[in-house]
């Protein structure tokens, strides 16, 4: 069991993760189509307004009205930090890059261990905040299902067990085994659960035109 989790299952998890991402990308372009931009009659066409940096900034700030940035800035900051660190921390963790170098002969830049430890703690604090909202706020609790708690656990478990392993709390070998297994489960489930939105967020915001899009958007559902 231990050998399987630490060996073949890692490869299987990465294969499922990559194939799942490719499948979702194919689905995205299959289920969307290029926008057909209508044109006004010549007599009514307006010249495009010249956009200055000041106008672009004002437009961006105006677009924040009615969004979470305006209605719940604490949740917005916590969500943004959580999603960024959820990706960056594992990628640039020294321990992960040592294993990558040993298995592939190359590695990424690594954060100093105290920094990674601090970032992990921030992820965990954000996770506690999200869980608290789901339990304590009636309007959030009303739309929360078991699925949401399972996804929360899948996202937080690798960081919690990694934090325990780094500080050598509890039985180290057991904690490391659970850490590896939880990371593999997370990789496998990312393409097929709401966890995938942290990877596809920018794809949707840039390609799909809408109220919360970053650009005009070139595709529509």
Number of domains forming the structure of the chain: 1
pLDDT tens digit sequence for 209-218: 554 555 555 5
Judge whether 164 lies within some domain. Answer: yes
Q: How confident is the model at residue 67 (pLDDT cuts 50, 70, 90)?
A: low
Q: Read off the pLDDT of residues 168-205 as tens digits, 9 standing for 90 and up.
A: 998 999 999 999 999 999 999 999 988 888 777 767 66
The answer to whether residue 27 is domain-embedded is no
Q: Does residue 54 lie in a domain region?
A: no
Instruction: Determine the average pLDDT of the residues in 23-27.
Output: 87
Burial (Cβ within 10 Å: 0-12, 13-18, ≥19) of residue 205: middle
First to last CA, the chain: 44
Residue 210 lies inside a defined structural domain of this protein: no
Report if residue 202 sits inside a domain: no
Residue 161 lies in a domain: yes
Q: Is the pLDDT of residue 56 over 60?
A: yes
Enclosing domain of residue 105: 70-184
Q: Cβ(139)–Cβ(145) under 8 Å?
A: no
Give a yes or no: residue 156 inside a domain: yes
Tell the burial category of 131 from Cβ atoms under 10 Å away from its Cβ (0-12, 13-18, 19+). Answer: middle
Residue 47's pLDDT is 59
pLDDT at 219: 60
Q: Is 196 part of any domain?
A: no
Mean pLDDT on 114-133: 95
């Amino acid at each position: 069991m231990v050998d399987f989790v630490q060996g073949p299952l890692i490869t299987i998890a990465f294969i499922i993760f990559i194939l799942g991402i490719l499948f979702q990308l194919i689905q995205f372009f299959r289920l969307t189509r290029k926008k057909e931009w209508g044109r006004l009659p010549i007599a009514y066409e307006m010249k495009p307004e010249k956009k200055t940096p000041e106008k672009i900034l004002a437009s961006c700030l105006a677009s924040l009205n009615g969004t979470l940035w305006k209605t719940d800035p604490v949740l917005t900051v916590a969500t943004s930090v959580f999603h960024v660190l959820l990706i960056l921390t594992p990628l640039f963790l020294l321990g992960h890059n040592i294993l990558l170098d040993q298995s592939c002969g190359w590695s990424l830049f690594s954060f100093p261990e105290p920094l990674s430890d601090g970032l992990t703690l921030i992820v965990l604090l954000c996770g506690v905040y999200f869980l608290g909202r789901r339990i304590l706020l009636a309007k959030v609790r009303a739309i929360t299902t078991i699925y949401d708690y399972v996804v929360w656990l899948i996202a937080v478990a690798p960081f919690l067990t990694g934090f325990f392993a780094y500080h050598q709390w509890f039985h180290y070998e057991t904690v490391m085994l659970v850490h590896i297994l939880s990371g593999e489960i997370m990789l496998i489930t990312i393409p097929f659960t709401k966890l995938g939105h942290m990877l596809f967020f920018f794809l949707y915001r840039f390609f799909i035109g809408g109220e919360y899009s970053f650009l005009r958007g070139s595709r529509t559902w």
